[in-house]
Amino acid sequence: MSESRRRWWHRLTTRSPLLVTLDALILGFVVGALVIITTTASVLDAWRAMFSSWAAFGHACKLTADVVGAAYRAMFTGAVVDPRIFWHALTTGHGWTLALTPLSETLTYAAPLIIASIGVGIAFQTGIFNIGANGQAILGGVAGAYMGSLVHLPTVVHLPLTLAAGIVGGVVVGLVPGLLKAYTGAHEVIVTLMLNYVVAALLIFTLLSTVLQQPGQQNDISRTLTPSAQLAPLFGAASGLRVNWGLAVAALVVIFAWWFLERSSLGFDFRVTGANPQAARASGINARAVIVLVFVISGGLAGLAGIVQLAGTTHYLDGGFLIGNAGIGFTAITVSLLGRNRPVGIVWSSLLFAGLGVGGRAMQVATGIPLDLATVIQSAVVLFVATPVLVQEIFRLRHAAAGEVRLATSGWGS
């Protein structure tokens, strides 16, 4: 075995954050496959008959591979690209919209998720659990909707103002737990979690009882953002692709977050506080200011995510805005953990989660397997990432040298 090959082998068998994540991904898809197998009647029937003959056993294996393969293939072609449609577009010059739609959809879903997850990630890096990103995002959407639908200005002013209103909305919700924690020591997990319910109720109130409600409607639906406040499709409305300038906003946020965490002195204070609060205090970092500022930044980014979601896709609010498993603020927590709270990692994990969601839809349309499977895979991946020891044992990885593996977060309550 040559030296370089041996080094590769060593890296592939030694526990490292990246390898654990990749292995967790593989395990997630294995769990997904098991779910498909155990919930598809035809596959189960084939396995039940496997003891009758070798042919039946072979048939069961083949059917399993076909069904699972078809599901994952549909997921891939639905989330990234369908090679055949792409080739058709490449050779004939027609059908580009259809060929690029999967990627466009994945990016459309990923943009607000990236923004919200970076907000959550920055808080995690400071040792603070912001479980309230969803409420912050909802109020960001509400504030942005007021600015975007009731004010009339040219795009150059209106769009930035609308996005700013979204940020302010998120900051307002974020400040409540921030100030409470800094000055009274209230636990941010409880406060942020509970505020989600307050804001969800506030959303319904604004939709049913204020000027935001669409005129002539008694249902929970808001006015539509004026075109000057909308994030236009990146390739124009005629392209038929929904990917919009929200992606550019997300890119700016990633750059900002990288600079903030790696280059700014405030970001350094944040990370020191997260790594060791006592040391931070001893070295003269103002803990109160850090806590409040974390919530300003984290809440502001969540609010921005909410308004990007609104201004980029639906353009109006309704009672189902960011409710349930679509609550990007909740997804952001898992996305951020999967991305190890770092901007670049979060970009990858956001793309993965968005792709699983979008691909899951294509899978359901093509194979009839419910898109909830995508959620199962997402959850399983996160579960495995959160338990590196389990992944290490399953893949029999070597222990890393001390200090190589960093915890994703420090313990709660610190």
Partner 1 sequence: MSRGDSRRVRLGTWLGTASLLAGSLTLGVGSVSAQAAAKPFKACVVTDTGGINDKSFNASAWKGMQDAHARNKNIVPSYLSSSSSTDYVPNINSFVHEGCGIIVTVGFLMDQATQQAANAHPKQKFAIVDDAPQHLKYHNVLALQYETNQAAFLGGYLAAAMTHTGVVGTYGGMQFPSVTMYMNGFVAGVRYFDKVKGAAVKVLGWTPAKGNCTLATCNGTGTFVGNFTDQTAGKTIAANDFAAGADIVFPVAGSVGLGSVVAAQQAGRGHSIMWVDSNGCVSDAADCSWFIGTVAKGVEASVRDAVLKAASGKFRGGTYLGTLKNQGTALDYGGIPVPAAVKKAIAAITKGIESGRISINPNSYPAK
Interface residues toward partner 1, by CB under 8 A? 10, 12-13, 23, 26, 29-30, 65-66, 69-70, 72-73, 76, 83, 98, 101, 105, 109, 201, 204, 208, 218-221, 242, 309, 313-314, 316, 318-327, 358, 361-362, 364-368, 370-372, 394-398
How far apart are CB 190 and partner 1 at their closest, in Å?
20
How far apart are CB 275 and partner 1 at their closest, in Å?
28
How far apart are CB 310 and partner 1 at their closest, in Å?
9
Please list the residues that pair with 14 across neighbouring strands. 398
Place of tokens 């991904």: 25
Closer to partner 1 at the Cβ: 296 or 390? 390
Closer to partner 1 at the Cβ: 153 or 193? 193
Closer to partner 1 at the Cβ: 13 or 39? 13
Length of the chain: 414
How far apart are CB 139 and partner 1 at their closest, in Å?
16
Closer to partner 1 at the Cβ: 226 or 313? 313
Phi, psi of 233 (to 5 degrees): -55, 140
Closer to partner 1 at the Cβ: 149 or 309? 309
How far apart are CB 153 and partner 1 at their closest, in Å?
24
CA dihedral 84, 90, 92, 94 (to 10 degrees): 90
How far apart are CB 344 and partner 1 at their closest, in Å?
22
What SS3 string covers the chain? CCHHHHHHHHHHHECCHHHHHHHHHHHHHHHHHHHHHHHCHHHHHHHHCCCCCHHHHHHHHHHHHHHHHHHHHHHHHHHCCCHHHHHHHHHHCCCHHHHHHHHHHHHHHHHHHHHHHHHHHHHHHCCCCCCCHHHHHHHHHHHHHHHHHHCCCCHHHHHHHHHHHHHHHHHHHHHHHHHHHHHHCCCHHHHHHHHHHHHHHHHHHHHHHCCCECCCCCCCEECCCCHHHCCCECCCHHHCCCCECHHHHHHHHHHHHHHHHHCCHHHHHHHHHHHCHHHHHHCCCCHHHHHHHHHHHHHHHHHHHHHHHHHHHHCCCECCCCCHHHCHHHHHHHHHHHCCCCHHHHHHHHHHHHHHHHHHHHHHHHHCCCCHHHHHHHHHHHHHHHCHHHHHHHCCCECCCCCCCCCCCCCCCC
Closer to partner 1 at the Cβ: 251 or 365? 365
Closer to partner 1 at the Cβ: 125 or 309? 309
How far apart are CB 78 and partner 1 at their closest, in Å?
8
How far apart are CB 149 and partner 1 at their closest, in Å?
14
Closer to partner 1 at the Cβ: 62 or 406? 62
How far apart are CB 369 and partner 1 at their closest, in Å?
11
Closer to partner 1 at the Cβ: 342 or 361? 361
